[in-house]
């Protein structure tokens, strides 16, 4: 909403830049956060202590959402690749979030999962699939890339290693998530903004 208003506002480049800066810093995110949270406390996105959390309130050039399940082997096998991506972008204002969409999953279970596989990023719970819907995610593991303005720029597979459940290449040829982050950081369009992720269904844990 606010972003559209900003863009619609007439003025020179300096005004636009200023406006975007304000958007990023303060104005837009509480509103968007409220939209994501869906209203009452506890209905929306939560941290592991059960407190509402707004992913988009933290300033970053890129927000990477990784939809995961604790009981999905393909999710787990991607832990080393996600560690690699995390360290690659650690110094470049890229936030990694681990989104657990299974409402039955406990905080202790999530903590053990993150620690066991050394998943990078901040774990959050999305029991009402607010983030799932916003990212159009269907699968664990699936990645979604949002730019600083909160616009969804990519969602889908992390890379092309899996062709199907149980059918994998020896190594990935196309690193879709990495390419998407690089494109957003470079201010370019993501070449393949949507791909099909292979893994476990998120709708099964709605």
- Binding residues (CB under 8 A) for other proteins: these are 71-73, 75-81, 102, 104, 116-118, 163-171, 173, 200-201, 203-205
Of 194, 49, 35, 62, give the one whose Cα is nearest residue 128: 35
Beta strands in the chain (DSSP E): 62-68, 94-100, 122-125, 139-140, 142-147, 152-156, 162-164, 167-168, 200-201
C-beta closer to other proteins: residue 71 or 88: 71
User: CA geometry: angle at 128 spanning 122 and 132, to 5°?
Assistant: 60
Burial class (CB in 10 A: 0-12, 13-18, 19+), 157: buried
Q: How far is the CB of 74 from other proteins (least distance, A)?
A: 9
* Least separation in angstroms between CB 107 and other proteins: 18
Nearer to other proteins, 25 or 165 (CB): 165
Helices and strands in the chain: count of H runs, count of E runs:
8, 9
Q: Work out how close the CB of 119 gets to other proteins at its nearest, in angstroms, rounded to a whole number.
A: 9
Q: At its nearest, how many Å lie between other proteins and the CB of residue 71?
A: 4
Name the residue nearer to other proteins (CB basis): 53 or 205.
205
Q: Which is nearer to other proteins, 36 or 82 (CB)?
A: 82
**Closer residue to other proteins in complex, CB, 32/161:** 161
CB 85, min distance to other proteins, A? 13
């Amino acid at each position: 909403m606010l972003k559209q208003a900003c863009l619609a506002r007439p003025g020179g480049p300096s005004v636009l830049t200023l406006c975007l800066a304000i958007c990023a810093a303060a104005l837009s995110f509480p509103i968007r956060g409220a939209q994501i949270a869906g209203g009452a406390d506890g209905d929306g996105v939560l941290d592991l202590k059960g407190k509402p959390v707004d992913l988009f309130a933290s300033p970053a050039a890129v927000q990477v959402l990784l939809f995961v399940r604790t009981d999905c082997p393909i999710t787990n096998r991607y832990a080393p690749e996600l560690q690699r991506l995390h360290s690659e972008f650690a110094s470049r204002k890229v936030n990694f979030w681990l989104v657990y969409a299974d409402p039955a999953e406990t905080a202790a279970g999530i903590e053990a999962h993150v620690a066991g596989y050394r998943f990078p990023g901040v774990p959050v719970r999305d029991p009402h699939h607010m983030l799932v819907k916003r990212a159009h995610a269907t699968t664990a593991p699936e990645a979604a890339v949002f730019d600083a303005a909160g616009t969804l720029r990519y969602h889908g597979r992390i890379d092309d290693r899996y062709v199907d459940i149980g059918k994998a290449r020896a190594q990935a040829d196309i690193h879709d998530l990495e390419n998407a982050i690089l494109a957003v950081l470079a201010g370019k369009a993501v070449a393949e903004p949507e791909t099909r992720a292979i893994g476990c269904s998120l709708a099964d844990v709605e």
